[in-house]
Amino acid sequence: MATVGAHIISADLSPAYCRDTTPSSGKSKRNQILKRRLAVSNEQAQASTASRSTAATRSFAHNELEAETKRRVSVDEYCSEGNGKRLKDYFDEAERMIRSSSSDGGPPRWFSPLECGPHSPHSPLLLFLPGIDGVGLGLIRHHQRLGKIFDVWSLHIPVKDRTSFTGLVKLIETTVRSENCLSPKRPIYLVGESLGACLALAVASRNPRIDLVLVLSKSSKCTTCICSGNPLKMVMDNVVKGLSQQPTIEQLSQDLVAVSSYLPVLADILPKETLLWKLELLKAASAYANARLHAVKAQTLVLSSGKDQLLPSQEEGQRLTSALPKSQLRSFEDHGHFLFLEDGVDLVTIIKGASYYRRGRSLDYISDFMPPTATEFNELNEENRWMSVLMSPVMLSTLEDGKIVRGLSGIPSEGPVLLVGYHNLMGFEVHTMVPQFLIERKILLRGLTHPILFVDSKDGGLPDLGPYDKFRIMGAVPVSAVNFYKLMSSKSHALLYPGGMREAMHRKGEEYKLFWPETSEFVRMAATFGATIIPFGTVGEDDVAQDWYPRRGRFYYYFGKPIETKGRKQELRDKKKAHELYLEIKSEVENCLAYLKEKRENDPYRNILARLIYQATHGFTSQVPTFDL
């Protein structure tokens, strides 16, 4: 794997790969450039420069974005995972970078890690603002994945540099304003930790009219703890004094144990004079950021750690999200201080789950969507594995000739396809249905979901959005006419429950009763694009919610015969004709429910004990038989 180095050269490479910003002049220049250890070829530089200049003059073409989204959905190359680098790699590469640039007395500058690779011309810019170390490799574990969807620049602050906090703010601000002029329709992401988080807040407060998205870790007020008897200062003091590992340090946390083996490298990154300067810088940064929180209008994602034994990460995260009007909090209960360098933390997944990734002024849930990677899907599917084993779902579909078969072979592979069905209690049926479509048919269902899963509330009136990240990662979108139109036009497989929240929150005695509205607008929209409509029903969950007997608990899905609307656009423009089809679809859903309720009575494995015995004999991954079709 290529590494990031720190050689200083004077070649004129593409700004997409490296750039130098001199704070003293306040202008962006390309004289002394922080280059990667592996050289960039002339062809790469020319190609990148050309694409950059083209992107600067190109407006956001919606059809091009949709085409790019379809490409990502259809190919497997996007599902490649991260580069797997860890804390050890950070220190190894930081040491090489520090040694390579030790003779350089230049100012802070931008560099783009080689692991990030080429990016789409529509990719937004991401600026990483480092913490107290100043190296700029804090996202080393995320470079490969970030580079696929962002134009990544990292700020490197040389060890000997003494640029003031105001100077650093102006440096970043100059870059932000310059890039905003080049691409005014694209957002700029500022990812910062500790000192970098304060810098991001400061820049955002000074530029409220620029479209910024902040992703912050160990931010604002909590950085002052570093300078007030915090365990982290104990580690720093030991580095400065050149002491060996102390027994008390070993007891602080796993984070400090990891750091302790790299004390010599840490001493090179933060020698005594630099450490004292950075601590003073942190004081100024924290005071400035806290005083200007009221002026921050940017969309902000705050990340906190549940086991951070160095800083009050969770308390600060809650305080910050309360102070910022357009912010969300994501808490990682099982992670410590070095969040970006720990296993199990994927910044791209976090951004996707929060619906914070966009390439235009506003989020487009269709063109900005990125399908889940293999790792993301496996992690989410693992959470539902117990439910799948316990419920042992039976899925039936109908072929074009009307034959009912077990499995999903009756579902068309080509879209647009609209699945219309009955919403079980609390909507838990989607937990096993959506993954099964992806596993068996490689079809990603885009669920049209209640907007409550996408709207945050500062007054506590709505639930925390964090638990719903998995639905957004799997493609859920807020139900609206615009999103429905875009899904159909992009030939997606959409999932619609006309009964909505009322059906999912039905009362006792209302099981398997449809609460559909009188309007039939989805029929005419589907006909506009010649979509195939598949009515379906699900039974079993409502029984589980009421009482638990050994025979209860198995889920049954029945997808009826596909209803074609292709070639019926003109016919279904007539409201009467559209309503007739609407009633036909509703009737088919009711028939699906009735079929399942009747047939499950003959299922020899409806009893949970019978299913467990079968799985114990044949393996828990085996398919449990059901009634005869």
Is residue 368 situated within a structural domain?
A: no
Same domain, 17 and 102: yes
Same domain, 411 and 321: no
481-489 and 521-528 helices cross at what angle (nearest 10)?
30
CB 293 within 8 A of CB 201: yes
Is residue 186 situated within a structural domain?
A: yes
pLDDT of 13: 29
Same domain, 160 and 303: yes
CB 165 within 8 A of CB 104: no
pLDDT of 605: 92
Q: Where are the beta strands (DSSP E) in 390-472?
A: 394-398, 404-406, 417-421, 445-449
Is residue 324 situated within a structural domain?
A: yes
Q: Identify any residues that bridge with 448 across adjacent strands, giving them in sequence order.
A: 477
Q: Which domain holds residue 161?
A: 7-53+83-223+281-345
Write down the pTM of the prediction. 0.81
Residue 519: how many other CB atoms lie within 10 Å: 13
Same domain, 453 and 402: yes
Domain containing 403 — which CATH number?
3.40.1130
Q: Which residues contact 398 (CB under 8 A, 6 or more apart)?
A: 404, 405, 410, 559, 560, 561, 562
pLDDT of 388: 81
pLDDT of 541: 59
Local structure of 299: helix, strand or coil: strand
Number of domains in the chain: 2
For residue 416, whether the previous peptide bond is cis, meaning omega lies within 30 degrees of 0, is yes
Q: Identify any residues that bridge with 328 across adjacent strands, giving them in sequence order.
A: 301
Is residue 430 situated within a structural domain?
A: yes
Residue 358: how many other CB atoms lie within 10 Å: 20
Residue 623: how many other CB atoms lie within 10 Å: 13
pLDDT of 150: 96
Angle at Cα 569 formed by Cα 567 and Cα 575, nearest 5°?
140
- Cα separation values, 231 from 27, 167, 192, 220, 249, Å: 39, 29, 22, 18, 8
pLDDT of 316: 82
Same domain, 151 and 88: yes
Domain containing 28 — which CATH number?
3.40.50.1820
The pair of three-digit structure tokens given for residue 204, joined into one six-digit string: 């955002």
CB 300 within 8 A of CB 211: no
pLDDT, averaged in runs of 10, over the chain (629 residues) = 32 35 39 33 37 38 44 39 68 82 75 87 95 92 94 93 94 98 96 94 97 87 48 42 37 50 75 87 91 95 79 78 91 80 90 95 95 91 81 93 95 96 85 93 94 69 69 94 96 94 81 87 94 95 50 84 94 93 96 95 90 88 90
Q: Which residues contact 92 (CB under 8 A, 6 or more apart)?
A: none
Smallest CA-to-CA distance from 141 within 350, 336, 345 is with: 345
